Amino acid sequence: MDRNHSTMAKFLFMLLTCTCFCCKQTIEVETSSNLIQQKAVFENEQTAFAALSGLYTRMFALNLSLANGGVTVYAGLSADELENNAGDERYDFFYNNALLTNNSVIETNFWSAAYTCIYHANAIIAGLEDSNALTDVAKQPLIGEAKFIRAFFFFYLVNLFGDVPLTIYTDYRKNSLMARTPSDQVYEQITLDLLEAKHSIAEGYPNGLRGRPNKMAASALLARTYLYRGEWQKAEVEASAVINSALYALEPDLDKVFLSESPEAIWQLARTNANTAEASIFIPSSSSVLPTLSLSDSFIEGFEPGDARKSNWVAVNIFDSTPYYYPYKYKSRTSVPLAENLIMLRLAEQYLIRAEAKAQLDRVAEAIEDINAVRDRARSMETHGTSPLPKIASSLSKTEVMKAIEHERKVELFAEWGHRWFDLKRYNKIDVVLAGQKNGWQPYKALFPIPLAQIQLNPYLLQNIGYDY
Partner 1 sequence: MSLYKSCMGHLYALFQTLNVRAKYFSPQLILLLILFNPALAQVNDTTQRLPAIDTANKTNKRSLEDTTFQLQEVEINAGYYKVNNREKTGSISRITAQTIGSQPVSNTLAALQGRVPGLLITQSSGVSGSGFKIQIRGQGSLLQGTDPLILIDGVPLSAGNSALNVVSSAASASNNSGISPLSLINPADIESIEVLRDGDATAIYGSRGANGVILITTRKGNAGNIQAIANIHSGISTITKTMDMLNTRQYLEMRAEALANDDIVSTTVNAPEITVWDSTRYIDFKELLIGGNAAYTDVNLNLQGGSANTQFLIGGNYKRETTVFYGDQAANRGGALASMNHLSPNNKLRVLLMASYTHSKSNLTGEDLTRYINSPPNMLLFDQSGNLNWQEGGVAFPGSLPNPLAASYNEYTGIYRNLISNLTLSYLLAKGLSLKSSFGYNSTSGDEINLNPSTSLNPNTGNLPFSFFGNSQQGSWIIEPQLEYVGQWGKGKLSMLLGTTLQENRYSSLNISAYNYSSDILLGSVAAAGFSYSSNDNSHYSYRALYTRANYNWDGRYIVNVTGRRDGSSRFGSGRQFANFGAIGAAWIITNERFAKNNLPFLSHAKLRGSYGITGNDQIGNYRFLDSWSNTAQSYQGLTGLSPVSLYNPDFAWETNRKFELALEVSMLGDKLSVATTYFNNKSGNQLVNYSLPIQTGFPSVLRNLDATIRNYGWELELESKNIAGKGFSWNSTVNLTVPKNRLTEFPGLSTSPYYNRYIIGQSISTTRNFKSLGVNSETGFYDFLDVNGDGAYTNDDKTILINTDPKFFGGMGHDFSLGNFQLSLFLEFRKQIGFNYLYTQSTNVPGTRYRNQPTIVLERWQTPEDNSSIQRYATSVVSNPLGNYLVESDAIYGDASYIRLKNMSLSYNLPSAVSKKIKVKHMKLFSQGQNILTITNYLGADPENQNLYILPPLRTITCGIQITL
CB-nearer residue toward partner 1: 86 or 192? 86
| Subset of 386-445 contacting partner 1 (CB under 8 A) | none
Q: Does 449 bind partner 1 (CB under 8 A)?
A: no
Smallest gap from residue 322 Cβ to partner 1 (A)? 9
Residue nearer to partner 1 on the CB measure, 363 or 445: 445
Please, which residues bridge with residue 265 across strands?
346
Quote the CA–CA distance of 155 and 194 in Å, as a whole number: 11
Residues 67-86 that bind partner 1 (CB under 8 A): 85-86
Does the footprint of partner 1 cover residue 209 (CB under 8 A)?
yes
- At 341, give phi and psi (nearest 5°): -110, 160
Q: Which stretch binds partner 1 (CB under 8 A): 143-151, 228-236, 289-297, 350-358?
A: 289-297
Residues in CB range of 80: below 8 A, 6 or more apart: 296, 298, 299, 420, 424, 433, 434, 437, 438
Q: Which of residues 243-272 bind partner 1 (CB under 8 A)?
A: 270, 272
Interface residue with partner 1 among 44, 49, 366, 406 (CB under 8 A) is 49
**Nearest distance, CB of residue 187 and partner 1, angstroms:** 18
Annotate each residue in 99-128 with x if it binds partner 1 (CB under 8 A) or - if it does not, as one string: -x-x--------xx--xx-xxx-xx-----
Query: What contacts 318, CB < 8 A, 6 or more positions away?
Result: 324
Cβ–Cβ < 8 Å for 314, 328: yes
98 binds partner 1 (CB under 8 A): yes
In the bound complex, what is the minimum distance in angstroms from residue 318's beta carbon to partner 1? 11
- Binding to partner 1 by residue 133, rule CB under 8 A? no
Choose between 87 and 387: whose C-beta lies nearer to partner 1.
Answer: 87
Asked whether position 202 contacts partner 1 by CB under 8 A, the answer is no
Q: Rounded to whole angstroms, how far apart are CA atoms 160 and 463? A: 13
Q: Which of residues 309-338 bind partner 1 (CB under 8 A)?
A: 319-320, 333-336
The rounded distance, in Å, linking the Cα atoms of 97 and 92 is 8
Determine the 3-state secondary structure of 419 from DSSP: helix
CB of 110 closer than 8 Å to CB of 317: no
4 makes contact with partner 1 (CB under 8 A): yes
Give the contacts of 457 (CB within 8 A, at least 6 positions apart).
Answer: 176
- Cβ atoms 352, 361 nearer than 8 A: no
Calculate the CA 22 to chain-centre distance: 56
Residue number with CB closer to partner 1 (212 or 420): 212
Total number of residues that touch partner 1 (CB under 8 A): 97
Q: Which CB atom, from 122 or from 131, has the smaller least distance to partner 1?
A: 122
